[in-house]
Amino acid sequence: MEGETSWVINCFEDSTRGIGEFDSFSELSDEGSKEVNAVSVDLILPDDLLERILACLPVASIFRAGCVCKRWHEIVSSRRFLWNFSHVLPQKPWYFMFTSSDEPVGYAFDPVLRKWYGIDLPRIKTSNWFIASSCGLVSFMDNDTRSELYVCNPITKHCRKLQESPGLKFPDYSALAISVNRISHGYTISIVKSKQVPGNFFQWDLSIHIYDSDTRMWVTSCTEVLTGWRGGDESVICGGFLYVLIYSAGGGSPETRHGLITYNLSSRSSNGLLIRSFIKVPCPLTCGRLMNLNEKLVMVGGIGKQDRPDIIKGIGIWVLNGKDWQEIARMPHKCFQGFGELDDVFASSGTDNLIYIQSYGAPALLVFDFNQKQWKWSQKCPVTKRFPLQLFTGFCFEPRIEMAP
């Protein structure tokens, strides 16, 4: 496809393959015959200082810097450089957009350099797999048997397959979440499984299963029967708690079509605590998307009309304070119209201070800066819609080169 920048990287084991694919640096030429006494920075800076400077670059620029010369390539490939990189400020999250409804192909948007890169994701086979990310690591789980589960770094392509989670086989609904410790680099994965109780439409079995990367073991932390509610595919880990969006199993008013339950990950049994931890949603929602922004629970939701709650009239962003939702922003009407064909459900994910919102029906991508409270369209994705039923979706992740599963 035209207009994209390719990204072909196999970590630093073969860094030069990907580095050269980026746009080259422009060089300044001497004007006339004027003599200039120039001193190369490369000659006067010691390795440790140069490492710290390069570690502050955006990820894409680091790979470009690696092809400047042999010395720079050795620096960005060293373990000490990775250590320096891990101690700089978090990178701005990228957004990977799947451009096909059948195959897991697509492009990643870099908000710093405002470019799209072609990235091949390891292991994932279709774009409808369950996906969760945290601090540079992304977990994938297949949507059919729920038995294939991987954790990978999409930048370096390092990947690990995890053993199948315990609990319900072939659940009706599943929700995947991951949380990475920035200091130890250990991670926790949770899978929430929900299945209808046979012969009872209003009761649903719900179980929570936790994986610890240190022990490499699964623990079933909670099993409970919900009445009038069922689990879904939205969950997130934030501040040591697991938040799960639940859905009405029938009846009730539009305001009670969605709800939120919390679970303390340090607990070992719920003893009925899940339903007692119920939190109302701020308004009638057509859908809700949960995300962790700097250990704040944030929800992006489609706002339903009062008389037709299944019809979306706008999109709002809320942050949870205790058990109360604080509205942070609403999508401007001109942006809402800019999607062209925004359905009542949409893709949205975020981390650090950026939130991405995307319609399933088009490759348009809108970015919300949580700190600046600003809305901005991304650069146009280098793909066009080829047929009316083509779908687009995606997820965001923090590009880190030092993280490994």
What residue has token string 């073991």?
217
> For residue 334, how many other CB atoms are within 10 A of its CB?
8
* Whole-angstrom distance, CA of residue 358 vs CA of residue 108: 13
Low-confidence ranges of the chain (pLDDT < 70): 1-43, 89, 251-255, 268-273, 275, 340-342
Contact in structure between 381 and 365 (CB atoms under 8 Å): yes
Please state the domain extents for the chain. Answer: 1-20+48-89, 94-397
pLDDT at 89: 66
pLDDT at 203: 93
Side-chain half-sphere exposure of 197, counting CA atoms within 13 A: 16
pLDDT at 350: 97
* Whole-angstrom distance, CA of residue 123 vs CA of residue 130: 13
* Whole-angstrom distance, CA of residue 336 vs CA of residue 358: 11
Contact in structure between 338 and 358 (CB atoms under 8 Å): no
Q: How do beta strands 365-369 and 354-358 pair?
A: antiparallel
Q: What is the pTM of this model?
A: 0.85
* Whole-angstrom distance, CA of residue 208 vs CA of residue 219: 9
pLDDT at 162: 97
Side-chain half-sphere exposure of 116, counting CA atoms within 13 A: 20
CATH superfamily for 94-397 is Kelch-type beta propeller (2.120.10.80)
pLDDT at 41: 60
Mean of pLDDT over the chain: 84
Contact in structure between 191 and 175 (CB atoms under 8 Å): yes
What token pair was written down for 123? Answer: 């292991």
User: If DSSP codes are grouped into helix, strand and coil, which group holds residue 276?
Assistant: helix
